[in-house]
Amino acid sequence: MDQDRVLLDEVIQDENLLLRARQFDDNAFVFEASRYKGFNDGMSWSAPEKLQETEPHYHSAVTRWIEGQAFTFIVVEKKTNQRAGMIEIRKTEVERVWDIGYWMHPAKQNKGFMTNAVKLIIEFGFKRLGAEKIEAKYATWNLASEKVLEKNGMVKAGKIEKGFEKNGKWIAVYKMEVKKNK
């Protein structure tokens, strides 16, 4: 990182949303969101069967944050102070290239929250992390994610036929990217 170290109390916000580091008590929110049928279909991870299965992912998120490898934020709707989703920005193997992944709780979808959260995390990546390019991947059938990314200036950079394996089958993904304006 070119900027100061990103601390666990880092908050990103605008007039509608607050993005804050994932906390242990967010595990119940993650678990509850994954109870919706089809919620995890477009994600490389499978829905946990028990709440306790979210704990290793939480601990991994904290470790990666401290190491400066990835920053996992809970998306909070300011008006209601309710959790709405989760978004992460993580280093790739290429210097100054970061990748984002996200999900929105099914009860909070189609309200523009994720489009706004992606905008905030892209700004964070360029301004705080020194990114030159930010990428994202999504299952080819996930048109909602495609729209979110396009609204944030991302363009398609390719298709990966074997993006990730889910339930014994390969899921094709599109890769999108946005470059820092010099």
Where exactly are the structural domains of the chain? 11-135
* pLDDT-derived band at 43, boundaries 50, 70, 90: confident
* pLDDT-derived band at 129, boundaries 50, 70, 90: very high
Distance of alpha carbon 48 from alpha carbon 69, whole angstroms: 24
Give the model's pLDDT for residue 4: 58
Distance of alpha carbon 126 from alpha carbon 130, whole angstroms: 5
Kindly state the percentage of the chain with pLDDT values over 90: 82
Distance of alpha carbon 90 from alpha carbon 1, whole angstroms: 12
CATH code 3.40.630.30 for 11-135: yes
Nearest alpha carbon to residue 74 among 107, 29, 124: 29
Instruction: List, for residues 85-117, the tens digit of each pLDDT value.
Output: 999 999 999 999 999 999 999 999 999 999 999
* pLDDT-derived band at 42, boundaries 50, 70, 90: confident
Burial class (CB in 10 A: 0-12, 13-18, 19+), 98: buried
Helices 113-127 and 143-151, axial angle in degrees (round to 10)? 50
